[in-house]
Amino acid sequence: MSAVTVEDHAEDEVVEILRQTMPLQVAGADLLRRIAAAGRRVTCEARTVLYEVDDIADDLYIIVSGEVRHTLGPGALAKEPTKVLKKGDVFGWAALLDKSPRRLARAVCTQRSELVRIGGEALLRALAAEPDVGDVVMSRFATMISSEFTVPDLTGQLRRIHRKLHAGDPQSMNLTLYRMSLWLKSPRPYLMLIGFVLFLGFWYLSVEVWKLPRFREMPGITTVIKEWLAREPTYGLSLYTDEYYKHIWVSVWRVTQAFFLATLLGVPVGLFLGWSRKFKEYVFPIFETLRPIPILAWVPLAIVMFVATESAVIFLTFLASFFATALNTMLGVESIDESYVRAANCLGASKSQVFRHVILPGALPFIFTGLQISIGVSWFSLVAAEMVSGQYGLGYVINTSYTMVRYPTIVIGMITLGAVGYATSALVRVAGDYMMQWRTRELALGAQ
């Protein structure tokens, strides 16, 4: 390496060179700049040996001008070991292999050549910073090595590179972030924003500007926001009062208890309904009779049955959730393709093993659909229950504010209910994604 002169970084030019190589075509400007920053431009005289087989593989090379002869050693099992590389070609990719890589080839300049050298580690780090693009770049390297350099047997090693980029293997996190970034790049968040602005704008105009007849008694948006943010609210409830959080907490706690109770009972009952035809014949007709009865119709009985109001409220909240969970779980079991059960039987699974390894995971997507519905329904019935009895909670707030003519507080209660309800159902969705990574990954593939 005697005749090497180092030139200064003409970074933009290097970026342009990188962009034109096959593996890096897909990289964005930022990534290319980061890679270029890790690179050095060098000029080598003719007959310079860049590396020999078994040297430590540290850098990756890109040809800016000139010509390099690249001869793979017998260990690489290449179909055509010798290849003459020209402008825009990439070599020295052994630097990207796993576990302290060694050179698999000998590379010699056949004429005076200009090259860009990039440290393999630095490149991998740059790619790992943008795993989605990095992944594609790595798979392009794999394609290049197998098709252009005719090396067949590196797939194993390359796959590990490919996987290594997914740092922290629970991929759901990466996937969530990836989806989030896609979402932000799409027009959807802005459309959503416009939707909100239009809706709130209509509220403002109809109540406070146009004063439409039907909206005369409605609290205006400015009144509500002022009340909500007031340190000393006119009607006693705002972001700064402890009372507000107490109401939220009581409602959340009731929903939590009812939801878990409904899940704990509903899932097993649903599994059993789907699993045993006999049980279904006993129970399902009762189910279908009770299910359509609105929660408000249960209020008197609930009060008679439970002396304490708290348990009455929880019972009412629990009821609708339980039906939703049990029913969806049952449908989940029934939706499982008979072939899965038969396959498990063929493979020697016992009845309980079939249940544990086929029925339960197979029904999980439906169970989580049920839980989504269940959490929504539980808020629904909670408010109904709290309006009838109870001393705290968001439903109670809305109802008492009505009787005491505190209209802005009604709206504060409603908005809070919407936000908290949305948050809890998002939590259920995240839990579902986490437990069904096979499905999240499948869906992610489908979306591409």
Partner 1 sequence: MAVGTLAARAAAPSSAGKTRGAIVIDDVVKIYDPEGAAVMAVDHCSLNIEAGEICMIVGPSGCGKTTLLNAIAGFHEITSGRILLDGEVLCSTEKPKAEPSSDRIVVFQNGALFPWKTNLDNVAFGPLMQGKLTKAEAADKARAMMADAGLAGVEHNYPGEVSSGMRRRVEIVRALMNEPKVLLLDEPYRALDSLTKSVMHEALLEIYYRNKVTIFFITHDLEEAIFLGHKVAIMTTRPCKPKKVLEVDIPHPRDYSVLTSKRFRELMEETNEAVHEEALKAFAAGEKEG
Query: Of 97-105, 234-242, 399-407, 433-441, which segment contacts partner 1 by CB under 8 A?
Result: 433-441
Please report, for residues 29, 179, 221, the alpha-carbon distance to residue 433 in angstroms, rounded to integers and kept in the order given.
Answer: 33, 13, 37
For the bound state, the minimum distance from the C-beta of residue 132 to partner 1, rounded and expressed in Å, comes to 16
Pattern of binders to partner 1 over 111-150, x per CB under 8 A?
----------------------------------------
Binding piece for partner 1, criterion CB under 8 A, among 36-44, 51-59, 179-187, 333-341: 333-341
To 10 degrees, the CA torsion angle through 166, 168, 174, 176? 150
If DSSP states are collapsed to H, E and C, what string results for 114-149? EEEEEEHHHHHHHHHHCHHHHHHHHHHHHHHHHHCC
Whole-angstrom Cα distance, residue 16 to residue 27?
Answer: 12
Residue of the chain from 49, 182, 194, 343 that contacts partner 1 (CB under 8 A): 343
Binding residue for partner 1, selected from 344, 394, 410, 428, defined by CB under 8 A = 344
Q: How far apart are CA 97 and CA 161, in angstroms?
A: 7
- Among 346, 403, 447, 448, contact with partner 1 (rule: CB under 8 A): 346
Instruction: Report which DSSP code applies to 448.
Output: -
- Identify which of residues 147 and 448 has a Cβ nearer to partner 1 in the complex: 448
For position 439 contacting partner 1 by CB under 8 A, the verdict is yes
CB of 40 to partner 1, least distance (A): 34
Asked if residue 362 binds partner 1 (CB under 8 A), the reply is yes
Q: Which of 69, 159, 226, 291 binds partner 1 (CB under 8 A)?
A: 159
Measure Cα distances from 180 to 135, 167, 421, 429 in Å. Answer: 18, 18, 21, 15
Q: Could you tell me which of 367, 383, 370 has the C-alpha nearest to residue 416?
A: 383
Q: Does 173 bind partner 1 (CB under 8 A)?
A: no
Output the 3-class SS for 395-445.
HHHHHHHHHCCCHHHHHHHHHHHHHHHHHHHHHHHHHHHHHCHHHHHHHHH
Closest alpha carbon to 388 in 294, 257, 252, 323:
294
Cα–Cα distance for residue pair 203/215, rounded to 1 Å:
9
CB of 246 to partner 1, least distance (A): 42
Q: Is 168 in the site for partner 1 (CB under 8 A)?
A: no
Buried b (16+ CB within 10 A) or exposed e, 236-272: ebbeeeeebeebbebbbebbebbbebbbeebbebbbb
Q: Supply the minimum distance, in Å, between the C-beta of residue 336 and partner 1.
A: 10
Least separation in angstroms between CB 448 and partner 1: 11
363-382 footprint of partner 1 as x/- string (CB under 8 A): -x------------------
448 contacts partner 1 (rule: CB under 8 A): no
Q: Does 353 bind partner 1 (CB under 8 A)?
A: yes
The angle, 0 to 180 degrees and rounded to 10, between the axes of the packed helices 407-435 and 394-403 is: 160
438 binds partner 1 (CB under 8 A): yes
361 makes contact with partner 1 (CB under 8 A): yes
**Min dist. Cβ of residue 243 to partner 1 (A):** 47
Span from 182-190, 291-299, 351-359, 394-402 in contact with partner 1 (CB under 8 A) = 351-359
Under 8 Å between Cβ of 278 and 341: no
Cβ nearer to partner 1, comparing 344 with 417: 344
Residue of the chain from 9, 79, 86, 441 that contacts partner 1 (CB under 8 A): 441
Site membership for partner 1, residue 213 (CB under 8 A): no
Residue 396 near residue 247 (C-beta atoms within 8 A): yes
Provide the minimum distance between the beta carbon of 123 and partner 1 in the complex, in angstroms, as a whole number.
22
Which of 64, 35, 13 lies closest to 134, judged by CA? 35
Contact positions vs partner 1 (CB under 8 A): 155-156, 159, 163, 337, 339-340, 342-350, 353, 357-358, 361-362, 364, 436-439, 441-442, 445
